[in-house]
C-alpha cells in the first residue's frame, strides 16, 4: 500500500498536449502549502491502489518509452525537465484521435512516500482535459470583491499514472486511473504500455465483473433469481482455488439453456485462472444485493442461497391496480 500523507513535491512541470505541443520551460520546486496539497490531491486522490501494473515491451523493456524516461528521472533527478518533455511528446504522438481531448499534462516528483513502511520516490503523470469556472471571493480592507477564475478541480477524475521507484533491482510499480473506459486503450496500452503485475488478480477481477454483467443483463432471470445467481457466483469464487468456466456454470447456472451457457463460455473463458482472494474482496463490494423498484424503492437482500431467496420473496401481479408487487416473509422486525 502506498502512503502519501507525508509526501513532499520536489519538482514539477506542466505541459500542454493538444493539436500542438506547448512545453513548460521550467522545472518548478517547493510549492507553497496550499499548492502542494492541491498537487497531492490531483495525483493521488482518485487513484486505484488495488490493481498494480508494470511496464512491458514485446522484445526489450528499454524500448518502452515511458519506462525509459521515468527510470532516467529516478536515476538522474537533474534530467527531470528534459524527460518530462519526452513524456509529453510521447503522449502527444499516442493521442492523435478526435475523441481524445487536449489538455494540460502535470508531471510531478514526490519524496517521502511510504510503500509498506519503506520510503520511496514517486512520479505522478496526470492529463487534465477539463476546466471549470470558480468564484474567487476576497475581503480586502472590509471590501468584498468577486471574480471568475477558469481553473482545475483537483478532486475530479483524470487520466493518471503513479510510478513508484522500487530500486535498481526491481521494476517500478505502476498504478493508474482512467477518466473514461474509452481512454484505457490510448492511456494504458498505447501511452504507458503496461500490464497487470498480478495476472491472477487481474483475471479474477475481470471474471467476476463479467459474470455479474451477464447475470444482470439476462432478461429471462427475475430480480430474485439474479440476486441468487450473484450470491452463488461469489460463493463459487470463495470456495474454489481455480476459476474454470464449465465448473462455474455447473455450480451456479443449473437452469441455464445452451445459448446462455455459450454466452458465458465465450465471454469469461479467457479469464480462467487461479482465484485471487484480494480480487474477490474488491469486486464483492460492487455486487449490490438490491432489487430496485421504479425510482424510489430499493429492497436490500443479504440472503446468499437462491432457494431461500425465493422462499422469502414472492413476486406477483395485482390485476385490480395493474401493478406488480413483492410479498416479503419474515419472522420479526429488527
Per-residue pLDDT, averaged over 320-328, amounts to: 83
The verdict on 86 and 163 lying in the same domain is yes
- Per the domain annotation, does 139 fall within a domain? yes
- Between strands 103-115 and 2-3, the pairing is antiparallel
For the chain, the straight-line distance linking the first and the last C-alpha, in angstroms and rounded, comes to: 38
Report pLDDT for 293.
Answer: 73
The verdict on 208 and 228 lying in the same domain is yes
Coil, helix or strand at residue 131:
coil
Report pLDDT for 290.
Answer: 67
Report pLDDT for 163.
Answer: 97
Report pLDDT for 302.
Answer: 64
Least confident range of 69-73, 164-168, 292-296 = 292-296
Question: Distances in Å between the alpha carbon of 100 and those of 130, 155, 179, 204, 239?
Answer: 12, 21, 11, 30, 43
Report pLDDT for 288.
Answer: 66
Tens of pLDDT, residues 80-89:
999 999 999 9
- Per the domain annotation, does 188 fall within a domain? yes
Kindly tell me if the per-residue pLDDT of 221 is higher than 90.
no
- Between strands 297-300 and 313-318, the pairing is unpaired
Tens of pLDDT, residues 190-209:
999 999 888 899 899 999 99
- Mean pLDDT of the chain, nearest integer: 88
The verdict on 90 and 223 lying in the same domain is no
The verdict on 182 and 144 lying in the same domain is yes
Report pLDDT for 333.
Answer: 74
Tens of pLDDT, residues 255-309:
778 888 899 999 999 999 999 998 898 888 777 666 677 767 777 776 555 556 6
User: Last residue of a domain, which of 143, 167, 197?
Assistant: 197
pTM summary value: 0.73
Tens of pLDDT, residues 112-142:
999 988 999 999 999 999 888 888 888 888 8
Tens of pLDDT, residues 31-67:
989 999 999 999 998 888 878 999 999 999 999 999 9
The verdict on 243 and 273 lying in the same domain is yes
The verdict on 185 and 68 lying in the same domain is yes
The verdict on 63 and 146 lying in the same domain is yes
Report pLDDT for 304.
Answer: 54
**CA–CA gap between residue 276 and residue 174 (Å, rounded):** 19
Report pLDDT for 308.
Answer: 65
Domain that holds residue 209: 200-328
- Per the domain annotation, does 333 fall within a domain? no
User: Last residue of a domain, which of 181, 197, 213?
Assistant: 197
Contacts of 232 (CB under 8 A, 6+ apart): 251, 252, 304, 305, 306
The verdict on 12 and 145 lying in the same domain is yes
Number of domains in the chain: 2
Report pLDDT for 71.
Answer: 96
Tens of pLDDT, residues 5-25:
889 999 999 999 998 889 999
The verdict on 135 and 249 lying in the same domain is no
Q: How many CB atoms lie within 10 A of CB 299?
A: 15
Amino acid at each position: 500500500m502506498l502512503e502519501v500523507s507525508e509526501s513532499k513535491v520536489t519538482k514539477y512541470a506542466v505541459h500542454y498536449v493538444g493539436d500542438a505541443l506547448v512545453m513548460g520551460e521550467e522545472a518548478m520546486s517547493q510549492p507553497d502549502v496550499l499548492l502542494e496539497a492541491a498537487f497531492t490531491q490531483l495525483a493521488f486522490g482518485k487513484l486505484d491502489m488495488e490493481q498494480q501494473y508494470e511496464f512491458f515491451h514485446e522484445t526489450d523493456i528499454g524500448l518502452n518509452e515511458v519506462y525509459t524516461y521515468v527510470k532516467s528521472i529516478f536515476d538522474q533527478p537533474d534530467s527531470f525537465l528534459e524527460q518530462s518533455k519526452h513524456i509529453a511528446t510521447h503522449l502527444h504522438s499516442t493521442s492523435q484521435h478526435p475523441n481524445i481531448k487536449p489538455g494540460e499534462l502535470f508531471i510531478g516528483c514526490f519524496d517521502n512516500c511510504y510503500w509498506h513502511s519503506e520510503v520511496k520516490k514517486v512520479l505522478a503523470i496526470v492529463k487534465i482535459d477539463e476546466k471549470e469556472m470558480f468564484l474567487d471571493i476576497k475581503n480586502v480592507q472590509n471590501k468584498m470583491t468577486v471574480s471568475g477564475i477558469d481553473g482545475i478541480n483537483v478532486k475530479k477524475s483524470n487520466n493518471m499514472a503513479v510510478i513508484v521507484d522500487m530500486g535498481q533491482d526491481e521494476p517500478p510499480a505502476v498504478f493508474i486511473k482512467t477518466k473514461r473506459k474509452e481512454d484505457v486503450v490510448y492511456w494504458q496500452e498505447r501511452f504507458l504500455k503496461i500490464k497487470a503485475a498480478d495476472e491472477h488478480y487481474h483475471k479474477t477481477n475481470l471474471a467476476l465483473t463479467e459474470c455479474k454483467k451477464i447475470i444482470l443483463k439476462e432478461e429471462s432471470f427475475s430480480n430474485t433469481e439474479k440476486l441468487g445467481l450473484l450470491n452463488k457466483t461469489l460463493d463459487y469464487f470463495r470456495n474454489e482455488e481455480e476459476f474454470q468456466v464449465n465448473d462455474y456454470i455447473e455450480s451456479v447456472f443449473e437452469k441455464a439453456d445452451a445459448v446462455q451457457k455459450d454466452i458465458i463460455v465465450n465471454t469469461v473463458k479467457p479469464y480462467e485462472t487461479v482465484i485471487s482472494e484480494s480480487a474477490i474482496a474488491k469486486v464483492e463490494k460492487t455486487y449490490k444485493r438490491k432489487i430496485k423498484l421504479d425510482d424510489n424503492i430499493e429492497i436490500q437482500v443479504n440472503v446468499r442461497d437462491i432457494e431461500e431467496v425465493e422462499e422469502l420473496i414472492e413476486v406477483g401481479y395485482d390485476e385490480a391496480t395493474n401493478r406488480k408487487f413483492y410479498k416479503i416473509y419474515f419472522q420479526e422486525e429488527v
